[in-house]
């Protein structure tokens, strides 16, 4: 990267280690050489870990190295923060209820470009870097795609030298750990903080008070102005924990601020003084509940009020922080807020921010409504991640008014003014007014958060081209007709640092040797690989690389499930949250089809395949849990049957997370992206597979459409109904049984699921799944069955010609450049945030 002078002390090391030669003057807190790191680790072992050498474990070395690495980011971190506070640059704030960061050590070594030095330093201490990296417990502060997207975006914002802050919640317990017992998912609490978190710096002095509940009161101030004040029932304190986000090969080191809830000591003291010690402790427990646990998605109802409290808690803390920096540090007038800040709302989860900023500006800073509103709209932008009506967030008016009485008043006022605008533009269209209102009237009144986010933002985007079009044509159609200029698309992306360089060292080396290492910050450079698809020697190396990755995964699979996989087999992988719309059961119907063919025709052979699944089901999602049971049941039967286990094996890999994803994507030959067209907003796993050279079997859904465009239709296995055909079939009345009647093979497959073949004779446990498929399946699994199974036959044919397959695989990776999160962040920067690069000098 151009701004880095690789020979200047303190700068990020260059890739060939140019600044890392042992330099005696190098400080043990900042030096990037192996020698300085060695001294730093020894120092932290003695002074931070404080254990005698005889009792040191790999975990201690992990912690010491992590602290040494954090020290090395500190200087850059402070320089970046200093620029952000006092410099002229506009700052992007990414508000997200989830940040699925994954393990940090390897990523920070990569971005500081000191992997080799760290390996040498550890070796000198008798330790192996890979074993030490294994010790890290990942922070699983997200459910899946949306949370991981936020983490990829932080990496790209730092690498593109955009000053930015991620704001979220420091959940004490992240997404649950999944175990498989007797074929069922069992949830275990994720205790990621037990061993401490060396990456964060707590700032107990940087805290804000957040109100909750109570009522509002009107009053006249000394100047005779009419004002409102909120008299809360409770007050909670938000304490910040900051984590450095180091850009790759640059000095920019941004901040992720996560809020943790505490009780307000003065409250506790009041109680203490009146002798009620237990009341005070109780209050503390109640307050700290707010940041205790991450909510799973697809969890109907349960604990809704606490979820709203989480959202408001982190949004209010974040906005207060922004306003404090703006007015007290940068000393700018509030009118300049949209010039200094762009605030992106990651789905509707933080959309209460629209009302909160209005409240802060009007009630606390005494601004007039119109000016406050203009500032609010100019500052916020909203990203939508779903079209599923059941996933659109709404809050019952009762809960909302009890919890946030002042915000409800503000929302009513926003709504009144907004609906007047609607009437102006569409006179007499009361039906449209009803549809667009921020208050929903169907089945008990509720606040519609997607409407609030849209009305309160100057830009609204979907996360893939198809998704953004559908957004304008369906859930936000009326809003698009009102403000077409607000709507755009930014197709998701993933960071090639973590999902290629870090997780696929074999491919990284091959790429570096073939096309150079420019792809790390410019993924389009992978295009230079295209000619090598025709080079037999290169194809051989490509296959060897894949083979090694598959051996690595096979070892992990064996260790975690006991199942043996042959790395010469095709690895057919579906990893993602378990959900009906993602249709893991369609995948299983294909597996059972092959099983049935093999059982019926002795002598019949197929190209051997390992079917690998991974993903968590929301704990309360009855059908999703049975989908896991279906996979494990079919797996147990297939894997233990000598007639078939020479041709196929089925694995359910427990506890899919970022850490094991590093092993999974690089080892895949086939990527399963088989959601019902129109249901998957984008998908990002699909991109991680493509970058690592997997071929996709997929529907025309989400970003699959663009993946196919980039790869070329010949290098993509397409099947299934299109969005229009799905609509049409539903309009005509979908009758699943009709598909079964005309397809005897499908009928047999469904029969096998309920006749006890896979369940030791139990004919009931999987029946709800089949009943759903036959009688109420909004995701049209049976309608796509034949097309899918036929397409899988084409996949097998292609696999059998290894040169054909390797060619297609190389071309997929070569054409994956669009799916870098750097491209996505460049688009957000240009089209929505209007921010540019701001290099940091030390």
Q: Annotated catalytic sites, by residue? A: 385, 576-577, 582, 684, 688
**The binder of ligand 26Q chosen from 321, 393, 572, 580 (CB under 6 A):** 393
Cβ count within 10 A of residue 673 = 27
Interface region with ligand 26Q, contact rule CB under 6 A, candidates 191-199, 449-457, 679-687, 732-740: 679-687
Q: What's the min distance (Å) between Cβ of 675 and ligand 26Q?
A: 8
143 binds ligand 26Q (CB under 6 A): yes
Cross-strand pairs, 672: 697
Q: Does 127 bind ligand 26Q (CB under 6 A)?
A: no
- DSSP state string for 27-81: -TTT--SHHHHHHHHHHHIIIII---GGG--HHHHHHHHHHHHHHHHHHHHHHHH
268 near ligand 26Q (CB under 6 A): no
Between residue 368 and residue 387, which ones bind ligand 26Q under the rule CB under 6 A?
385-386
Judge whether 190 and 179 are in contact, CB under 8 Å.
no
Spatial distance between the Cα atoms of 414 and 173, rounded to a whole number of angstroms:
36
Stretch that binds ligand 26Q, among 174-182, 656-664, 677-685, 734-742 (CB under 6 A): 677-685
615 counts as binding ligand 26Q under rule CB under 6 A: no
| 635 near ligand 26Q, judged by CB under 6 A | no
Least separation in angstroms between residue 401's CB and ligand 26Q is 19
Which range of residues in 105-113, 151-159, 295-303, 795-803 is near ligand 26Q by CB under 6 A? 295-303
- Taking the least distance from each CB to ligand 26Q, the nearer of 311 and 587 is 311
681 binds ligand 26Q, rule: CB under 6 A: yes
Instruction: For residues 723 and 732, give the distance between their C-alpha atoms in angstroms, rounded to a whole number.
Output: 14
Q: Which stretch binds ligand 26Q (CB under 6 A): 79-87, 291-299, 321-329, 638-646?
A: 291-299
C-alpha span between 104 and 139 (Å, rounded): 9
Q: Closer CB to ligand 26Q, residue 276 or residue 402?
A: 402
Are 357 and 318 contacting, i.e. CB atoms less than 8 angstroms apart?
no
User: Is 702 an interacting residue with respect to ligand 26Q (CB under 6 A)?
Assistant: yes
Using CB under 6 A as the binding rule, whether residue 403 contacts ligand 26Q is answered as no
**What backbone torsions phi and psi does residue 121 show, to the nearest 5 degrees?**
-60, -45
Least Cβ distance, residue 290 to ligand 26Q (angstroms):
14
Spatial CB neighbours of 96, under 8 Å, sequence gap ≥ 6: 146, 147, 150, 166, 167, 168, 346, 347, 349, 350
825 binds ligand 26Q (CB under 6 A): no
User: Rounded to whole angstroms, how far apart are CA atoms 383 and 457?
Assistant: 10
- For the stretch 3-22, what's the b/e string if a residue is b when 16 or more beta carbons lie within 10 angstroms of its beta carbon? ebebeeebbbbbeebebbee
Strand 439-440: give its sheet, edge to edge. 394-396, 446-448, 439-440
CA 776 – CA 356 distance, rounded (Å): 41
Q: Which is nearer to ligand 26Q, 654 or 683 (CB)?
A: 683
264 vs 490 by CB, closer to ligand 26Q: 490
What distance lies between CA 802 and its chain's CA centroid? 34
Please state the closest distance from residue 168 (CB atom) to ligand 26Q, in A: 12
**Window 466-495: contact mask with ligand 26Q (x via CB under 6 A):** --------------------------x---
Report CA torsion sign: 195, 197, 203, 209: negative
Indicate whether 155 belongs to the interface with ligand 26Q (CB under 6 A): no
For the bound state, the minimum distance from the C-beta of residue 308 to ligand 26Q, rounded and expressed in Å, comes to 9
From CA 679, how far away is CA 127, in angstroms rounded? 47
Options 191-199, 354-362, 680-688, 830-838: segment touching ligand 26Q (CB under 6 A)? 680-688
Per CB under 6 A, which region of 39-47, 50-58, 138-146, 324-332 contacts ligand 26Q? 138-146
Contacting residue, 463, 500, 648, 813, with ligand 26Q by CB under 6 A:
463
Least Cα distance to 169 among 95, 114, 234, 117 occurs for 95
Q: Is 174 in the site for ligand 26Q (CB under 6 A)?
A: no
Q: Given CA atoms 405, 411, 413, 416 in this order, what sign does their dihedral have?
A: negative
- In this complex, which beta carbon is closest to ligand 26Q, that of residue 183 or of residue 678? 678
Dihedral angle over CA of 698, 704, 707, 713, nearest 10: 50
Q: Which residue is nearest to ligand 26Q (CB)?
A: 145
Nearer Cβ to ligand 26Q, position 528 or 625?
A: 625
- Among 684, 696, 812, 829, the residue binding ligand 26Q under the rule CB under 6 A is 684
Smallest separation, CB 470 to ligand 26Q (Å): 12
Q: Is 102 in the site for ligand 26Q (CB under 6 A)?
A: no
Q: Kind of pairing, strands 91-95 and 164-169? A: parallel
Work out whether 682 is an interface residue with ligand 26Q (CB under 6 A).
yes
Contact 326, 332 (CB under 8 A): yes
Q: At what angle do helices 767-775 and 622-639 cross, to 10 degrees?
A: 120
Residues 137, 680, 710, 784: which binds ligand 26Q (CB under 6 A)?
680
Instruction: Specify the stretch interacting with ligand 26Q by CB under 6 A; choose among 139-147, 203-211, 364-372, 660-668.
Output: 139-147
Alpha-carbon span 385 to 703, nearest angstrom:
12
Distance in angstroms (rounded) separating the CA atoms of residues 298 and 623 = 11
If binding is defined by CB under 6 A, does position 140 make contact with ligand 26Q?
A: no
Binding track over 636-675 against ligand 26Q, x by CB under 6 A: ----------------------------------------
- Of 680 and 822, nearer to ligand 26Q (C-beta) is 680
CA atoms within 13 A on the CB side of 609: 25
Contact with ligand 26Q (CB under 6 A): which of 279, 307, 435, 767?
307
- Give the three-state DSSP class for 345: strand
Contact status, residue 376 vs residue 354, Cβ threshold 8 Å: yes
> With CB under 6 A, what is the number of residues at the site for ligand 26Q?
20
Residues 732 and 720: their CA atoms lie apart, in Å, by 17
* Residue 350 contacts ligand 26Q per CB under 6 A: no
- Which tokens go with 209? 């008070």
The window from 6-14, 141-149, 233-241, 255-263 that contacts ligand 26Q (CB under 6 A) reads 141-149
Bridge partner residues of 673 (DSSP) = 698
Residues 6+ apart with CB under 8 A from 310: 97, 169, 290, 291, 295
Binding interface with ligand 26Q (CB under 6 A): 143-146, 149, 295, 297, 299, 307, 385-386, 393, 463, 492, 680-684, 702
């Amino acid at each position: 990267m151009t701004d880095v002078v690789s020979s200047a002390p303190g700068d990020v090391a260059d890739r060939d280690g140019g600044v890392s030669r042992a330099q005696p003057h190098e400080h043990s807190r900042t030096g990037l050489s192996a020698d300085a790191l060695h001294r730093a680790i020894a120092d932290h072992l003695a002074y931070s870990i404080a254990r005698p050498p005889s009792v040191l474990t790999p975990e201690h070395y992990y912690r010491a190295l992590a602290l040494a690495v954090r020290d090395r980011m500190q200087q850059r971190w402070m320089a970046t923060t200093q620029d952000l506070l006092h410099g002229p640059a506009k700052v992007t704030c990414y508000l997200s209820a989830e940040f699925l960061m994954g393990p940090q050590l390897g990523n920070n070594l990569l971005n500081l470009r000191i992997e080799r030095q760290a390996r040498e330093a550890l070796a000198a201490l008798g330790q192996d870097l890979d074993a030490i990296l294994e010790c890290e417990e990942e922070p699983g502060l997200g459910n899946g795609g949306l949370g991981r997207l936020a983490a990829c975006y932080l990496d790209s914002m730092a690498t593109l030298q955009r000053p930015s802050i991620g704001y979220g919640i420091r959940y004490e317990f992240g997404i649950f750990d999944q175990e498989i017992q007797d074929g069922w998912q069992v949830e275990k609490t994720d205790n990621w903080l037990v061993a401490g978190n060396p990456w964060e710096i707590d700032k107990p002095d940087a805290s804000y008070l957040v109100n909750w509940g109570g009522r509002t009161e009107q009053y006249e101030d000394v100047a005779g102005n009419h004002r409102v004040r909120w008299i809360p029932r409770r007050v909670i304190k938000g304490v910040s924990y900051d984590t450095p986000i180091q850009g790759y090969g640059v000095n920019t080191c941004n901040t992720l601020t996560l809020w943790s809830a505490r009780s307000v000591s003065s409250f506790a003291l009041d109680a203490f003084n009146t002798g009620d010690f237990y009341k005070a402790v109780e209050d503390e427990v109640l307050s700290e509940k707010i940041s205790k646990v991450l909510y799973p998605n697809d969890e109907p109802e349960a604990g809704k009020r606490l979820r709203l409290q989480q959202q408001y808690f982190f949004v209010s803390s974040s906005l207060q922080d922004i306003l404090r920096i703006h007015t007290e540090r940068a000393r700018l007038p509030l009118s300049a807020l949209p010039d200094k800040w762009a605030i992106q709302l990651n789905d509707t989860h933080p959309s209460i921010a629209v009302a909160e900023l209005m409240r802060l500006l009007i009630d606390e800073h005494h601004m007039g409504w119109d000016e406050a509103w203009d500032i609010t709209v100019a500052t916020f932008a909203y990203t939508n991640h779903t079209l599923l009506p059941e996933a659109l967030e709404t809050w019952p008016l009762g809960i909302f008014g009890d919890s946030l009485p002042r915000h409800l008043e503000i929302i009513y006022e926003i709504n009144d003014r907004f609906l007047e605008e609607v009437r102006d533009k569409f006179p007499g269209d009361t039906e449209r007014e009803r549809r667009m209102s921020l208050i929903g009237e169907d089945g008990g009144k509720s606040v519609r958060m997607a409407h609030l986010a849209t009305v309160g933002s100057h830009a609204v985007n979907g996360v893939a081209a198809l998704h953004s079009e559908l957004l304008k044509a369906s859930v936000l159609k009326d809003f698009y007709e009102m403000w077409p200029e607000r709507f755009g698309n930014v197709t998701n992306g993933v960071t090639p640092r973590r999902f290629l360089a870090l997780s696929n060292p074999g491919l990284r080396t091959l790429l570096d040797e073939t096309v150079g290492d420019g792809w790390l910050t410019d993924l389009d450079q992978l295009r230079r690989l295209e000619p090598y698809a025709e080079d037999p020697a290169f194809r051989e190396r490509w296959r060897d690389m894949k083979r090694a990755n598959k051996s690595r995964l096979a070892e992990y699979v064996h260790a975690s499930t006991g199942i043996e996989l042959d790395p010469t087999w095709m690895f057919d992988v579906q990893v993602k949250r378990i959900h009906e719309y993602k249709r893991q059961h369609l995948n299983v119907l294909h597996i059972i089809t092959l099983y049935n063919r093999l059982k019926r025709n002795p002598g019949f052979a197929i190209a051997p395949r390992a079917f690998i699944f991974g993903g968590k089901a929301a704990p309360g999602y009855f059908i999703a849990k049975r989908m896991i049971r279906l996979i494990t049941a079919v797996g147990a039967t297939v894997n233990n049957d000598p007639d078939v286990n020479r041709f196929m094996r089925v694995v359910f890999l427990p506890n899919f997370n970022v850490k094991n994803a590093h092993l999974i994507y690089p080892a895949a030959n086939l990527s399963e992206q088989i959601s019902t067209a129109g249901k998957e907003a984008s998908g990002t796993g699909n991109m991680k597979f493509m970058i690592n050279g997997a071929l996709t079997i997929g529907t025309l859904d989400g970003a699959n459409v663009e993946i196919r465009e980039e790869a070329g239709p010949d290098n993509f296995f397409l099947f299934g109904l299109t969005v229009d055909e799905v609509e049409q079939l539903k309009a005509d009345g979908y009758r699943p049984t009709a598909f079964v009647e005309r397809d005897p093979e499908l009928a047999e497959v469904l029969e096998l699921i309920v006749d006890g073949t896979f369940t030791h004779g139990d004919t009931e446990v999987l029946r709800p799944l089949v009943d759903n498929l036959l009688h109420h399946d909004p995701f049209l699994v049976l309608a796509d069955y034949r097309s899918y199974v036929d397409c899988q036959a084409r996949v097998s044919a292609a696999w059998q010609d290894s040169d054909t397959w390797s060619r297609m695989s190389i071309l997929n990776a070569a054409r994956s450049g669009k799916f870098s999160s750097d491209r996505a962040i460049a688009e957000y920067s240009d089209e929505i945030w209007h921010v540019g690069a701001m290099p940091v000098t030390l």
